[in-house]
Structure formats: C-alpha cells, structure tokens
C-alpha cells in the first residue's frame, strides 16, 4: 500500500466512521445476530493471497460492523464500557501508525514522557504526592493484579517474590468486589481460598465490623492478614467503602491498602458530586480506568502507587539484552523496569488528547449528566409501587427491580431475565441483570455523553410495559397448571 492508497483508504474510513457516529442513535444497540451466524461470517482458512483494500473494507462493512454492539449509542446502559470520545478514536489511529513501544525508552522517548505526564495527572487527581507513580495498563484486571502483587511484596519484605508464598495469608474485600480481585489473589500465589468476601450494609458498603471479625478469626487460626481491597464505586451500585476506616485497620495490622476505583475514579472530575474528600489518597495503591468514565477508547486502565519506588522493587529486573548503553545518567525511564509489561501499547496518547481537547471541566459535566440520569431513574422507580430501587445512586449505576405480587424470588429471577432479553431484542436499549442481597435486579448504568434524560424515562416506560406483560403471562401460565 503506497501513500496514495493509504490516503484514499484512510479518508474513506474516516468518512464512514463520521457518518456512523453522526447516526448512531438510529441503529440498534445490540445487533440481530446469533453466535452461529457471526462465526460463519468469518469461517475461512488463512488467506494466502492479497486482496484489494476495497475488498477488505467491503467485508468489514458487511460482516463486522452490522454485528457490533453499538456502545456509543445513548441507549447502551449495560457493562461499564462508555462511549469513546471522538478525539480518542483519532488518537488510537495515530497510535497504531507510530507503533511506539512504551516499555522501553529507546522505542518511544516522547511516548514515555507523555505517559509519565498522564500518570502524574492521575496521581494528582487522586490526591497523591510527588513520590507517587504508576503506569497505564490494559484495564482494571491488570491494575488490580499489579496493586496486589506490589502489596504482597511490600508486606513480605520482598521475600515472596524471591522465595514464593510460604505462609498462609488473607485478602479482605467487599462482597460487591469486581471479579478481577479474585483472579489477582489467585495470580499472586495466595489461592482464591485466601480471599475473604465480606458482607455489606444497606448502602452496599463493606461492613467494618465484619472486616475486624474476619481478621481476628484469621489471626486466631494462624493466617496472616496481607491486604485490604477497598472499593471506590462498586459495579452494581457505585457504593464507596469507608476508606479512612480501612486505612486505620490496615495501619494497625501492617497491611497493604489497595483501592479499586476503576469505575468510581471518574467522580473525581464531578462538579456537583465531587468525591475528593473520601480518602482515596490514603490508599497504598489505586486502580483507575480512563477507558471507563473518562470516556477514552479501550484499552486504558492505570495502576497508581503512593511510592513509585515500590514498583521498582517489585519489578526491577534488567536483562542484558535490554541494556541501554546511552543511559549513563540513568535518565531514560524504562517502564519494563517499573511495571509488569514489557511490550506496552502507547495508551497514554488517547488519554492525553482527551484531556487536551475536552478538558477536565467538560468531562466532569458529562459525568454529572450521567449521575443525574441515574438519580432520575431511581426517582421514577421509587414512585412506582410495582418497582423497587436498591439504593440511592451515588454514581451512574442504578439497580431497580419489579416486585409483582404473588411471585417468589425464583419466578422474579426468570421474569427479569425474560424482560432483559426482550429489551435486547427491541434494539433501543441494552442493560444487564445482577444479584444483590439474594435478589435479582435490572442493572442500568449510563456512562455515555450522548445519553439524555428522556432516554431514562423512555427506558423506564419500556420496563413497565414489558414487566407487566411478562407478569400477566406468568399469571396466566400458573392458572392453567
């Protein structure tokens, strides 16, 4: 592909994507497709001969794009995958062209400098001091893994990273945790049985009394407390744990405090409901995801550490084949020495361009709009005697449920699943269901700068109709048996 063809294909792609974004609300949120159909679309052997760019683009337009989930649609309110902002999309295009490997300074000097500046923006936002550091990751999964890994090393005085885990340890976290915490506890060698999921209160915050009891019981059984994982914005309800109370306990027990703010970190930009006074800066390490509520395209997570030297202590291995002979003054920052990954995508570009193009103030306004939308949906459900909201939403996540008379929990679970399927098939909205306190709920989370207040009212009216329709059908079915 020469420069002329590249330019022509690039213009065609940009024009197509601009048209796509301009008319995204007219599309279905979730495509009419079954796994067998989509698998058959790509069922071909490895191509041996070249195809024209026009033919390849035609295949994308006919096979890929019609069957994508349109997460930028204002009716997408499911998993926390926000609408990507347009300048972030352009940033990823530039990123792929430059192909900078931020893992080593020599493969991307300016890219390394940009990531270090973006990390500084994030550490400042979280309230950390000048000694803090971190790096961008693929997302919260990797960030939580790194946070617990450096915590394991710090608490064991770095013995575990050399000798392995030789004692029984425990990690404590809310029952409303993200599954990445379970995986991280496994991956750092403790085993999933070392995780202590703790009950939450009526606001879905971890119960401090339950934490203290669990620690006392473990110590009695010869199990040592290693880390507390606080949650700053649970996936289901946006609940924020009492970070200050967790810090006091961590200090008393010589534990590492990691806080998962992958979702809730966006609230640090909020103007109407700022959460900079909730103690996030007290954590030893933090997970925060710009690709969630900062509206950057995937993938762009981040792990931040109060003392950046801790990253070096946990990952500082320099193989001979990566020796940088020109770094006599030790000024070339090598991310592979201070983090888990060596080959690293230039993730900071889309975060940097997003902040430069829109500014923290405008992004904060988008976040506030999403929170207002969640609170509006909560109020609609609260006023309807056939619906029940889980808790007043501190963020954009809202859980509501239909409570039709005469149905037990198993029947209500089936009803909510059936209604969610009908909503998906309708194409106008997409949401999920979840479990809270052994009850089934609709989980609705607008994290989209295109979503408007009227979308929430429209969705609730749809839920009212579909719930009542399924309820009537279930009533008739039970009468006939």
- Please state the domain extents for the chain: 3-83, 100-346
Of the candidates 264, 205, 200, the residue with the CA atom closest to the CA atom of residue 232: 264
Would you identify the CATH topology of the domain 3-83?
dopa decarboxylase, N-terminal domain (1.20.1340)
Its pTM stands at 0.93
Contact 154, 311 (CB under 8 A): no
Confidence at residue 324, expressed as pLDDT on a 0 to 100 scale: 61
Residue 481: predicted pLDDT: 42
How many CB atoms sit inside 10 A of residue 165's CB?
Answer: 17
Q: Coil, helix or strand for 228?
A: strand
H or E element, residue 346: none
Which pLDDT belongs to residue 319?
A: 60
Distance CA 47, CA 370 (A): 45
pLDDT at position 325, please? 55
Integer angstrom CA distances of residue 86 from 20, 91, 302, 358, 389: 12, 9, 21, 10, 34
CATH topology of domain 100-346: 3.40.640
Q: Quick one: which of 478, 414, 466 has its CA closest to 440?
A: 414
Task: Please report the pLDDT score of residue 480 as a whole number.
Answer: 39
User: What is the pLDDT at residue 1?
Assistant: 83
Which residues in the chain show pLDDT less than 70? 318-330, 475-481
Nearest to 77 by CA among 442, 473, 467: 442
Q: What angle do CA 340, 257, 214 make, to 5 degrees?
A: 120
């Amino acid at each position: 592909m020469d420069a002329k063809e590249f330019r022509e294909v690039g213009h065609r792609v940009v024009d197509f994507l601009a048209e796509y974004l301009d008319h995204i609300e007219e599309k279905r949120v979730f495509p009419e497709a079954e796994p067998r159909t989509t698998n058959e679309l790509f069922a071909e052997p490895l191509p041996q001969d070249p195809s024209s760019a026009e033919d390849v683009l035609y295949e994308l337009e006919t096979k890929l794009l019609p069957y994508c989930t349109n997460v930028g649609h204002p009716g997408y309110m499911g998993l926390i995958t926000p609408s990507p902002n347009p300048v972030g999309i352009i940033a990823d295009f530039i990123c792929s062209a430059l192909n900078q490997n931020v893992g080593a300074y020599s493969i991307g000097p300016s890219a390394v400098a940009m990531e270090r500046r973006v990390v500084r923006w994030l550490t400042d936002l979280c309230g950390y001091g000048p000694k803090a550091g971190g790096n961008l990751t693929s997302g919260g999964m990797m960030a939580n893994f790194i946070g617990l890994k450096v915590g394991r090393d710090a608490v064991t005085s770095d013995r575990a990273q050399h000798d392995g885990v030789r004692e029984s340890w425990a990690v404590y976290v809310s029952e409303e945790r993200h599954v990445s915490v379970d995986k991280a506890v496994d991956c750092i060698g403790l085993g999933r049985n070392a995780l202590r999921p703790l009950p939450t209160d009526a606001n879905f915050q971890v119960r401090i009394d339950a934490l203290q009891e669990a620690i006392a019981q473990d110590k009695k059984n010869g199990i040592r407390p290693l880390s507390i994982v606080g949650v700053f914005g649970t996936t289901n309800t946006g609940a924020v744990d009492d970070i200050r109370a967790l810090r006091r306990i961590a200090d008393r027990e010589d534990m590492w405090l990691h806080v998962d703010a992958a979702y809730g970190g966006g609230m640090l930009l909020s103007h109407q409901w700022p959460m900079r006074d909730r103690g996030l800066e007290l954590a030893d390490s933090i997970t925060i995801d710009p690709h969630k509520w900062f509206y950057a395209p995937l993938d762009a997570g981040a792990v931040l550490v109060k003392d950046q030297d801790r990253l070096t202590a946990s990952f500082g291995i320099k193989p001979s084949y990566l020796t940088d002979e020109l770094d006599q003054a030790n000024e070339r920052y090598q991310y592979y020495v201070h983090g888990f990954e060596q080959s690293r995508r230039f993730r900071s570009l889309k975060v940097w361009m997003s902040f430069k193009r829109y500014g923290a103030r405008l992004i904060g306004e988008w976040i506030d709009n999403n929170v207002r939308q969640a609170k509006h949906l909560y109020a609609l459900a609260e006023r309807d005697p056939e619906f029940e909201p889980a808790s007043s939403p501190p963020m954009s996540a809202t859980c509501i449920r239909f409570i039709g008379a005469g149905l037990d929990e198993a029947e209500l679970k089936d009803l909510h699943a059936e209604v969610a399927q009908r909503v998906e098939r309708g194409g106008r909205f997409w949401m999920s269901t979840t479990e809270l306190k052994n009850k089934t709920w609709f989980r609705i989370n607008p994290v989209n700068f295109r979503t408007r207040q009227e979308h929430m009212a429209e969705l609730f009216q749809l839920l009212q109709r579909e719930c009542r329709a399924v309820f009537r059908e279930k009533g008739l079915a039970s009468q006939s048996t």
